[in-house]
Amino acid sequence: MTSSSQATDHADQGRAAAEQAEQAVAPTPGGASGKRVLLAKPRGYCAGVDRAVDTVERALETYGPPVYVRKEIVHNQHVVQTLEKRGVIFVEETDEVPEGALVVFSAHGVSPAVHEEANRRNLRTIDATCPLVTKVHKEVNRFAKQDYDILLIGHEGHEEVEGTSGEAPDRVQLVDKASDVDKVEVRDPSKVVWLSQTTLSVDETMERVDQLQERFPDLQAPPSDDICYATSNRQVAVKAMAAECDLVLVVGSQNSSNSKRLVEVALQAGATSAHLIDYADHIDESWLDGVTTVGVTSGASVPDVLVLQVLDYLQERGWGEAEEITTANEKISFALPRELRKDLSDNPDSPQSVR
């Protein structure tokens, strides 16, 4: 698919979302006060996060604590703190893990150098990298082997970008801000491809692609979208309700890329205000002044219990039952990592519902 046809697809997607918004968000009165809550669907856990958290929980049950995890397994404060209480030790790098111990790699993926370091130190590893991140790693490898220059659109310093770039550091250049486009240098302008982080804003990424294409008319697009289904579905869902909302509350952590993008997308799609919160008690009462319609959604690493607490908070302050605004039904799930599946099937006492 060319980048321009992808841009068309995304534009079509945007129009479809706007039409859905008109149909889905009919102006129904929310009781005498007119206060309404619109709840985006899909929201919350994606298949990659579900698998990564499940992996750590199964590892705890199967091997017992402590289980070491390199970096946050997913970018969510509540998930990380809950797992810590159960015996998980989060580390920044594998050199903090005792020789021979078990370490789980997070959903964001790791570079080959991290695998090598873990091998060197005889660590037992379980790789919980989301299969959709692995797909981008494979694309980097494939294009690097074909001697392409790879322009990776993504956020500087994000773990996923570090892992993906690490597949071919000599071939990958990161394009984060618009000003990065002018800094890119390629060896052969006819052999350039753009790839991206999985959790970006769809619209902003296409802007960056257009800028790159002006410099490199032969720029090649990824074989399939790198921004994952969960990221784009959550953006479409928040767009569908944003224009109706005086306030959009996005449940998610500050270091969660896809959650932060939901705040930006909500504002761009017409929400009067939008805030990112980890917990209901992070809501500032003043945000609710003069607000009639509140939209609620959550990032791909957020368990729904945190969203339910936000709905309770709103109900206690006079907002009624939430109206769910559905733009897609997701049915994707991923099998647990191979290393863990093997041990689970070898262990007759372990829970056997391995997907």
* Minimum separation from the CB atom of position 35 to ligand SF4 (A): 32
Annotated binding site: 46, 75, 108, 130, 158, 198, 228, 256-258, 301
Quick check: is 160 catalytic?
Answer: yes
- Biggest alpha carbon–alpha carbon distance for the chain: 67
Sign of CA dihedral 138, 141, 143, 146: negative
CA distance 353 to 355: 6
Q: Is 47 a binder of ligand SF4 (CB under 6 A)?
A: yes
Residue with Cβ nearer ligand SF4 (56 or 130)? 130
Which helix (H) or strand (E) segment is 263 a member of? helix 257-268
Q: Is 240 a binder of ligand SF4 (CB under 6 A)?
A: no
3-state secondary structure of 222: coil
Q: Is 197 a binder of ligand SF4 (CB under 6 A)?
A: no
Cα 78 to chain centroid distance, Å, stands at 16
31: left (phi over 0), alpha (psi -120 to 50) or beta: left
Q: Is 256 a binder of ligand SF4 (CB under 6 A)?
A: no
* Minimum separation from the CB atom of position 136 to ligand SF4 (A): 9
Q: Is 161 a binder of ligand SF4 (CB under 6 A)?
A: no
Query: How many chain residues are in contact with ligand SF4, going by CB under 6 A?
Result: 15
Phi, psi of 3 (to 5 degrees): -65, -35
Sign of CA dihedral 54, 57, 58, 59: positive
* Minimum separation from the CB atom of position 234 to ligand SF4 (A): 9
Q: Is 49 a binder of ligand SF4 (CB under 6 A)?
A: yes
Interface residue with ligand SF4 among 165, 205, 231, 235 (CB under 6 A) is 231
Residue with Cβ nearer ligand SF4 (199 or 293)? 199
Site string for ligand SF4, 257-286 (x = CB under 6 A): -x----------------------------
Annotated binding site for [4Fe-4S] cluster: 46, 130, 228
Residue with Cβ nearer ligand SF4 (132 or 150)? 132
Interface residue with ligand SF4 among 17, 192, 228, 271 (CB under 6 A) is 228
Residue with Cβ nearer ligand SF4 (133 or 271)? 133
Residue with Cβ nearer ligand SF4 (49 or 193)? 49
Residue with Cβ nearer ligand SF4 (25 or 133)? 133
Q: Are 337 and 126 in contact (CB under 8 A)?
A: yes
If 0-12 CB within 10 Å is exposed, 13-18 middle and 19+ buried, where does residue 145 land?
exposed
90 DSSP 8-state letter? E
How many CA within 13 A on the CB side of residue 247? Answer: 22
Exposure class string for 110-143: b at 16+ Cβ within 10 A, else e: bbeebbebbeeeebbbbbbbbebbeebbebbeeb
Residue owning tokens 């995304």: 10
Interface residue with ligand SF4 among 104, 107, 236, 288 (CB under 6 A) is 107
State the residues that interact with ligand SF4 by CB under 6 A. 46-49, 107, 130, 132-133, 198-199, 228, 230-231, 258, 300
Active-site residues: which are they? Answer: 160
